[in-house]
Chains A and B, each alone.
Chain A
Amino acid sequence: MNTVDEILDYAIDQEQQAADFYADMAKRSEKSGMKEIFQEFSREEERHRDKLLDVKRGEQELTAHQQVLDLKITDYLVEVETTENISYQDALIIAMKRERAAFRLYSDLAEKVSEGDLREVFLGLAKEEAKHKLFFESEYDDRILQEN
């Protein structure tokens, strides 16, 4: 990944993979009501992909220097398995963990590259992932942690 376009292609591919992952979960899920939820997750990832496509076409910009709230919910949750019988809580945990891993990856890459413009792209992508994580963490806070 040496150019901005290559980085964006990689990130776009990652979002597409996530969308495919959730679409597959939707197909496999046996628990009532979970199919629709995974389909919604998949659409959410497609929205992320589309935003990056816009960025690549120069129609939108990534903002590397904005504050994104970190609720720190994901960090202390255990890993869960992706089974056909998965609950909404566990589905959210999977989504939060995936976004957190992506955030980590782009943050690390930003540290490693020396070219300023590439770093900005990685930082911008990291912020995007932080926003995605916040989206799922807020949902977890609202729905799963209602009484906690």
Chain B
Amino acid sequence: MSLKDLVSPFFVWQRAFEKPYTVGLRPIEERPGAPAYRGFHINMSDDCVGCGSCYTICQNHAIDMVKVEGLEARSGDSGLRPRFDYGRCCWCGLCIDICTAGSLRMSNEYAWFTTDPDEFRFVAGVENKSWQGSTAGYHRHPDYHLFPPRRVEMEMLGPGESVSSFTEVVKGYSEEQAKQEADRCVECGICVATCPAHMDVPDYIRSIRDGDYEKGLQLMYRTNPFPATCGRICTRRCESVCPVGIQGEPVAIRWLKRFIVDQVEDSDYARILPEVADDTGKRVAIVGAGPGGLSTAYYLRLKGHAVSVFEAQSRPGGMLRYGVPGYRLPDEALDKDIEYIRSLGVEIHLNHSVGRETAFTSLLEDYDAVFVSTGLNVPSKMRIQGEDHPRAMAGLTLLDDVANGRDPQIGGSVAVIGGGNVAMDAARVSRRLGAEVTVLYRRRIEDMPADTEEIEESQAEGCTFVTQAIPLEAMDAEQEGKVVLKWGEAEMVPDPGGGRPRPVLQEDRMHLDTFDTIISAIGQGSNLDYIPAGIADQLQIKWGKFIPGDYQQMVVQKLFVGGDVANATADAISAIEDGHHAARGIDRFLSTGQRS
């Protein structure tokens, strides 16, 4: 080793007191990022719904959706949150632009020193970072959207036109409109988890973008054999959670479903949809030809079981036929669904009431399994004086009359009592029959269980709403053929138990109004009288509803139940899912003889 080699390290000290050439460790104070700089990510985790659009759009695979401790998945929130990998991020900001919830943005911080490279992968908004509270940095401009915030408007009959007949109000999308609307879907799948039937929404919406409607139909039939119906009247819980709706309007999932079904001719169904398996030799009886019973029938028939449906009414469809009016669900749409199920060899015995034509016990004896979905068809009573007045009727009776082509003779002015969907249907049907309609409801508009759209359409069609109105008595009017309704105003009072506010009658504010007909639509209950006491005693039944076990099975092994008479949600899609679920349970039961 030379002497130079030995002393050269000491030359470094020559520069020890000169100004340094490299930057210090804290440049941000001296040179902060520009106000709109694309720096480190900020996520408002409480606003985020874990839709994963950021993950999907990121071209660099810099985002993973990860489970976060203490955050559970629930309807409308996947429970996942984006984790950023700064070894990959190129700061393009696409994730910010697409973020449906508007929870994601960027701070203007750009310096982060650590000796551990793994730290550069972090879950923004969950791991505590100094820039989480920063207001500077890149934000998407509120008026700038990667997808249109408003849905493609649906053409409908105007209110004047709609009340003049029972013609379907909603006209349906054209192909161009449907494709445009389908383009708004970010394919997050949040809707799939919330849909009771877990329909594969993003994929059937994609089939519209691809113009492959047969594929769309196949996807829908996997979990729902009533797509023409649901495409019109579904309660669409999917739309209530679609994150596109957080900053705009949710994707019009229901109308897109309808669009697909409307594109495919009935005659092509058999070619497109799955074939029936070979006969198994097993026989299943189904009581009730509503959506619950017929969905079970469809999925059991596909497995090769022989299915006999017993229906008390003269046409199949249950409440979809006799409750939901034709201007929302025309018979042709319902028949498109039902006739296909029938075409697979499902036998439907009409005008056949179990308990009258056939004993319930004989079904249990003669068949390998029995599925019961008899719905809720007994109108609840108000239990007020004069309820049985000749000019008072139940909403269900009115709807049943109209569905069967009978004139319910309601006259020119009616009071509809209630705030649910049946009340809205009764009101709108009454308008179509030419009556002036007053809807009386004991609480406020915002408390109404009816779909908001139904409430708005009722109002647009000229129904008058009187809220916080408590019906007290029906009595004879001076004029023959009319009825007087005594009702009182109510104040909303906080519930001492912490529940929702309760209406309290104000006895000094009473009213007497004369109508041609009073229509009560305050709910409906079940009629389980067809089940003999010896069997009923063994079953778990509460508030007139069955409480089924796994796969909708009851303690009586052969017996499965579903639909309105067994669930709390009482809508078509829940009945359909109950039917699908029960069919899987029944199929297992038939092939193994075991409880599900």
Contact = CB atoms under 8 A, between A and B. Distances in A.
Contact of A144 (B380, B420, B499): B380
Given A32-B539, A36-B542, A69-B496, A147 B472 contact: no
B422 A78 contact: no
Nearest to A85: B529
A75 B522 CA distance: 19
B375 to A, nearest CB: 16
B361 interface: no
A134 to B, nearest CB: 7
B449 A89 contact: no
Interface stretch (A46-54, A108-116, A135-143): A135-143
Most B CB within 10 A of own CB, among A36, A72, A143, A148: A148
A142 B384 contact: no
Nearest to A80: B383
Contacts of A33: 541-544
B531 A32 contact: yes
Given A33-B544, A89-B383, A148 B472 contact: no
Interface string A68-101: 0111100111101000000111100100000000
Contacts of A30: 533
Nearest to B505: A72
Given A70-B504, A148-B522, A88 B544 contact: yes
Nearest to A93: B383
A76 B387 CA distance: 12
A142 B533 CA distance: 29
Given A33-B544, A138-B499, A77 B420 contact: no
Nearest to B449: A147
A77 B383 contact: yes
A145 interface: yes
Nearest to B522: A148
A138 B541 contact: no
Interface residues of A, number: 28
Given A32-B531, A36-B542, A147 B504 contact: no
A88 to B, nearest CB: 6
Interface in A19-77: 30, 32-33, 36, 69-72, 75-77
Nearest to A143: B543
Contacts of A72: 504-505, 507
A2 interface: no
Interface string B466-495: 000011110000000000000000000101
A138 B497 contact: yes
A72 B502 CA distance: 11
A76 B441 contact: no
B200 to A, nearest CB: 33
B580 interface: no
Nearest to A140: B383
Contacts of B449: 146-147
B423 A147 contact: yes
A78 B389 CA distance: 14
B9 to A, nearest CB: 85
A71 B541 contact: no
Interface string B397-437: 00000000000000000000111101100000000000000
Most B CB within 10 A of own CB, among A32, A72, A141: A32
B248 interface: no
A147 B418 contact: yes
Contact of A147 (B495, B522, B533): B522
A34 to B, nearest CB: 9
A147 B417 CA distance: 9
A35 B543 CA distance: 11
B543 A142 contact: no
A32 B420 contact: no
A147 B420 contact: yes
B385 interface: yes
Nearest to A76: B472
A145 B525 contact: no
Contacts of B471: 148
Contacts of B503: 71
B381 interface: yes
Contact of A78 (B383, B523, B542): B383
Given A76-B472, A77-B384, A148-B382, A141 B502 contact: yes
A144 B379 CA distance: 12
B72 interface: no
Leading 4 A-B pairs by shortest Cβ distance: A147-B420, A148-B522, A33-B541, A32-B541
22 contacts: A32-B528, A32-B531, A32-B537, A32-B541, A36-B542, A69-B504, A70-B504, A72-B507, A76-B384, A77-B383, A80-B383, A87-B525, A87-B544, A89-B381, A90-B383, A93-B383, A138-B499, A142-B499, A145-B522, A147-B419, A147-B420, A148-B442
